Structure 1
Amino acid sequence: MNNHEIDYEVIGDDMQFVQVELDPGETVIAEAGSLMMMDDGITMETVFGDGSNQGGGIMGKLLGAGKRVLTGESLFMTTFTNDQNGKKRVSFASPYPGKIVPLDLSELGGKIICQKDAFLAAAKGVSVGIEFQRKLGAGFFGGEGFIMQKLEGDGMAFVHAGGTLYKRTLEPGEVLRIDTGCLVAMTSDVDYDIEMVRGVKTALFGGEGLFFATLRGPGSIWVQSLPFSRLASRVFAAAPQTGGSSKGEGGIGGLFDLFGGDRN
């Protein structure tokens, strides 16, 4: 294998984290801010891009970092290396409730396409780049933008999804239509396009948006039941709009405020 061969364990149910076991000299890369805990003896270092092209000179580093900027991610990633003789463990947590998906790229054709914010961690050597959608409709109306992430290599990678995770394998020619935000990842052989909702009334009053993703097999896809954008919009809609006042939350205190009025 060209990538470091790491052992791992996904721990938890709805609030999961992944614990990676590193042999001496092994390295794992992760998104900045995803660290949960690590054993003493692990060296942490911040690098440009994903760390897979550190031997390619300054231009290679800048190119890798620039690709991450296009996907809305940070210029930097963090590497964790076991510099000791024994095995060491480092853990990474998902940023919101959901599932962590282990993906063995060597069994998935060496490439996975995923949402730009789905990547969590991977074995050193996995390249985290950008994937341009071939069709303009998928780019402009897909909900995930014209650019998605691609993970390439032959090692382990970990992505996270919101809510419940569902994996489905599409047969050749089989078509599945899903909400654009619910797509977590797919193998590179899946054909991905955007289709407009039919019918004016359905588009305007259906509450599901004007477009959905059309996925055509063969290939495997991973779908999440609760995209973070949907959760955030519901929280924002339910939040008090009066500068943080809690009078509108419907509790007993709210009843006193309603009927008591100003007692002075």
Structure 2
Amino acid sequence: MQHIVKYEPTFSMLQVSLAPGETIIAEAGSMVARSSSLTMEVKLNAGKNAGFFGKMKAFFIAIIRKIVGGETFFVNHFSSPQGGWVWLAPSLSGGIKPIQLAGNSMIFSAGAFLASSGDIDLKMRWGGLRALLAKEGAFFVEASGNGQIFVTSYGAIDEIQCNGSYIVDNGHIVGFDSSLDFKIRSGGGGLLGFMASGEGIVCEFQGQGKILIQSRNTSSLVDWLTPMLPP
């Protein structure tokens, strides 16, 4: 599948050319434009092997996610027997990064998924209390299989390699290899550091694998905008 990311890194847009029979799955609401030859089908992404109860569970989780923010987990399938093109863009300004999966899996934070192609299985994964405290949301998105996934962020995306341990501010995580584990901890500096440094909670990753980070923090944007909003 041919693709190009334009207007990086601030106002990135993904342009995809589909060959006859190819399909790309995109987050609901991300389409900018498409050729008239393409058809669009809306589906609930519950994972490839999900049965009836799995789909019902995914449906209720999708409703919760829609309320609290992040992906709706309703996705659009674009395809055509004749082929065509589609342009996709995220809600916030920032980067778009293509990631190739070859039998491995990665975990992404809420809002990071933009699109995927190939034999990719997407499913929701409960993040637990540590994810809530790390402001990553109650659910992660786990991607596995063989194909390509496109992720987005607020700000540019950088890839770093963890060999042992690596500390990342909780508001800058885009995704990480599923082989990595992480725990939340104080940013350091004692009580004053926790209260006044602005680095109250950080995530310490352990193991070997890659971590995707974003150069800007969405929570900081919200904090900056809030005083300017009318009461």
Match of 1:62, SS state, is helix
How far does residue 103 in structure 1 lie from its aligned partner after superposition? 0.9
Gap regions ≥5 residues in structure 2: none
1:217 matches 2:213: no
Letter in 1 for 2:18: L
Of the candidates 60, 72, 75, which is equivalent to residue 74 of structure 1?
Answer: 72
Deviations 1:46-103 (A, max 9, x none): 11226745xx66545434434544555325221111232xx41111012111100101
How does 1:1-264 map onto structure 2 within 5 Å?
Answer: 6-13=1-8, 14-49=10-45, 52=48, 58-69=52-63, 71-72=65-66, 73-74=71-72, 76-84=74-82, 87-106=83-102, 109-123=103-117, 125-133=119-127, 136=129, 138-171=130-163, 173=164, 175-198=165-188, 199-209=190-200, 211-237=201-227, 239-241=228-230
How far does residue 105 in structure 1 lie from its aligned partner after superposition? 1.2
- Provide the rounded CA distance (Å) in 1 between the counterparts of 2:81 and 2:168: 45
Gap regions ≥5 residues in structure 1: 1-5, 244-264
Pair 124,61 (structure 1): closer, same or farther in 2 beyond 3 Å = farther
Greater alpha carbon shift after TM alignment, 211-220 vs 68-77 = 68-77
Letter in 1 for 2:2: D
| Structure with a larger share of its residues in strand | 2
CA contact (8 A) 1:52 1:125 kept: no
Q: Which has the larger radius of gyration?
A: 1
- Provide the rounded CA distance (Å) in 2 between the counterparts of 1:71 and 1:152: 21
Q: State the superposition RMSD in angstroms.
A: 2.3
Match of 2:33, SS state, is strand
- Matched residues, percent identical? 28
CA contact (8 A) 1:28 1:121 kept: yes
Letter in 2 for 1:30: A
Letter in 2 for 1:113: I
Match of 1:229, SS state, is helix
- Provide the rounded CA distance (Å) in 2 between the counterparts of 1:46 and 1:219: 34
- Provide the rounded CA distance (Å) in 2 between the counterparts of 1:186 and 1:117: 14
Question: What is the aligned length?
Answer: 225
If the length of structure 1 is used for normalisation, what is the TM-score? Answer: 0.77
Letter in 2 for 1:225: S
CA contact (8 A) 1:170 1:218 kept: yes
